[in-house]
Chains A and B, each alone.
Chain A
């Protein structure tokens, strides 16, 4: 039988070695360093704990053993699990070279955090799975650390990873979808889901519906309660999704909706719910409402094809009877809608991106893009200083340029294919956002900020 302690000790050493190797690389932001230091510290503590156990459990392979030694050996098995978890988080750094991570998007998300007053650490994680995802890893890692040692310095409990498909690493336009993932972080950080429970009228109505659905085909209170819990889990996940969508529209406007349409269009299941997400058609309906509420309808109409797709998909009826939880949650969500809208707008109030800002810059940005110039700055009449555009406006101008079929490019970039045009557009937007953040930093330094 193999020596358990020896194996775990070796596992700890190789994991630490891997982390040390990662440390030698250049990370895209301080948040990556923060996570890495935490993992390294956790790994070292695991190593120390295993050493302590090895002094108690002497001798070779003896599983099962009795008494304290057995308990300690069980602990060692747990340490092996912790090391496995650390190892899986190392994957976050695998594709985290500065050239793989969409750094301007990362800067933009960080800026959004500042704007709404909830600046929390996050990292972007390129992955092979073609999906965008939010993982709130902070609390989980802290719980893991606390179970190893009470002396480990914990990480920010809101630390998150936002995953994106590696194939999209240079596609700034599609990566606007990351604002939705940022929305999840904001919803978690601000505890917005709990806010819903503070409206007794809404809670009463929702509770009634949930109980009605849960009572179908079962009779004992235990069975009903089990079903209620299952429905509530779905309802919480869906509410999270809807709030993240609304935060996305409020902070980024149409660009957020464009990226959503772009990503869901190839999918053939717009009417299908899943435990984490209400169906696309429902989400679209709410985002379209938000677009109207914040005055973006005219802007959307400038991209008639996308606007039409959004509207027609939003009118599709969701598939019923897939799962009792989905039917119940789908009946509850419309009751929650007004509260969700209110919560999202109150939450983002100081940072809501408005059409008035965009309208101010729009003509200049389109004219610059038409000439193949990054839309980063404009000159007011008679001014001796250029004015910088903000990142949200740059992204919205980019999406409209794309949706309108690259106006003005036929003469200048006639030799480029449609794919090459989109790549060029992404380069121009990336450059514009880089310039925008650098200019902002320059101004802050000049004013002593």
Chain B
């Protein structure tokens, strides 16, 4: 696994044929001359999900296991009740308060070939102001979509966010090519252009399995 150099990045992004299996898509593409480092700056898009005061005790993925056949689960309802989609015009702004979480999205749409893995890292300019930009930093080979940015203000003062701000950067690495269909199915968030609500309820089956294992090894009655 090696990080792509600026020269390799230019060669991969500036390919004419969209069907070329080596092509990295960053849409809109960074200008040729601006690719000087081994990372590409990511701009903040204008779609956000902000959180409101919760009206439930906790987001409990496992409690939804019994409702797996119901179309809208309790977790989905809870998430929907405390998160709200917001569109901020490019000339506008959004304030993130200390300790709060806002889901943002990259303005660029990313498409990775089968042999490229990427990592998103915060730009220190914003990090030093207290902003954590990305916690889900790994982008799998074959991923397509805008990247959801989990924005958290870890500082003590509110921070104003602006659509178009260079808040993060992405670094690309070569990996052994994998089957695209396998890798894409790994990500639940492919092809998104807006930040997506958490799909925590989809973890329920796995958590239930662990619960049963726990009950089995500790000789507890099923609760």
Contact = CB atoms under 8 A, between A and B. Distances in A.
- Do A and B interact? yes
Interface of A: 26, 98-99, 103, 364, 367-368, 370-374, 376-381, 384-386, 411-415, 424, 427-428, 430-431, 435, 438-439
Contacts of B185: 415
Contacts of A378: 16, 18
Among A368, A428, A431, A435, the one with the most B-chain Cβ atoms within 10 Å of its Cβ is A431
Interface in B63-108: 85-87, 89-90, 92
A438 B90 CA distance: 10
B190 interface: yes
Contacts of B31: 385
Contact of B87 (A99, A364, A376): A99
Contacts of B16: 378-381
A374 B17 contact: no
A373 B111 contact: yes
B144 A386 contact: no
A386 B19 contact: no
B184 interface: yes
A412 B27 contact: no
Contact of A371 (B33, B90, B144): B144
B28 A371 contact: no
A413 B29 contact: no
A365 to B, nearest CB: 9
Given A376-B27, A428-B193, A371 B184 contact: no
Interface string B97-135: 000000000000101000000000000000000000000
Contacts of B194: 427
Q: Select the residue from B15, B142, B181 with max chain A CB neighbours within 10 A.
A: B181
Interface in B142-159: 142, 144-146
A372 B144 contact: yes
Residue from A368, A370, A371, A380 having most chain B Cβ neighbours under 10 A: A371
A375 to B, nearest CB: 9
Interface string B155-194: 0000000000000000000000000110011000011111
A430 B85 contact: no
Contacts of A374: 27, 109, 193
Contacts of A377: 27-29
Contact of A386 (B29, B85, B184, B192): B29
Contact of B191 (A427, A438, A439): A427
Contacts of B191: 372, 413, 424, 427-428
A367 B109 CA distance: 16
A435 B28 contact: yes
Nearest to B18: A367
Nearest to B84: A99
Contacts of B15: 379
19 contacts: A99-B85, A364-B18, A367-B18, A370-B18, A370-B19, A371-B19, A371-B111, A372-B111, A373-B144, A377-B29, A379-B14, A385-B32, A411-B180, A413-B184, A415-B185, A427-B193, A431-B146, A438-B28, A439-B28
A414 B184 CA distance: 10
Nearest to B23: A371
A154 B111 CA distance: 50
A414 B181 contact: yes
A18 to B, nearest CB: 22
Contacts of B145: 372
A384 B32 contact: yes
A411 B181 CA distance: 6
B14 A384 contact: yes
Contact of B193 (A26, A381, A413, A431): A431
Nearest to A435: B28
A112 to B, nearest CB: 22
Nearest to A367: B18
B180 A412 contact: yes
Contacts of B144: 371-373, 412
Given A381-B16, A412-B181, A373 B32 contact: no
A404 B113 CA distance: 25
A309 to B, nearest CB: 29
B172 to A, nearest CB: 16
Given A384-B14, A386-B29, A427-B192, 11 more contacts: A26-B89, A103-B87, A367-B19, A371-B25, A373-B27, A379-B15, A411-B180, A412-B181, A413-B191, A415-B185, A428-B193
Interface string B16-46: 1111000001011101110000000000000
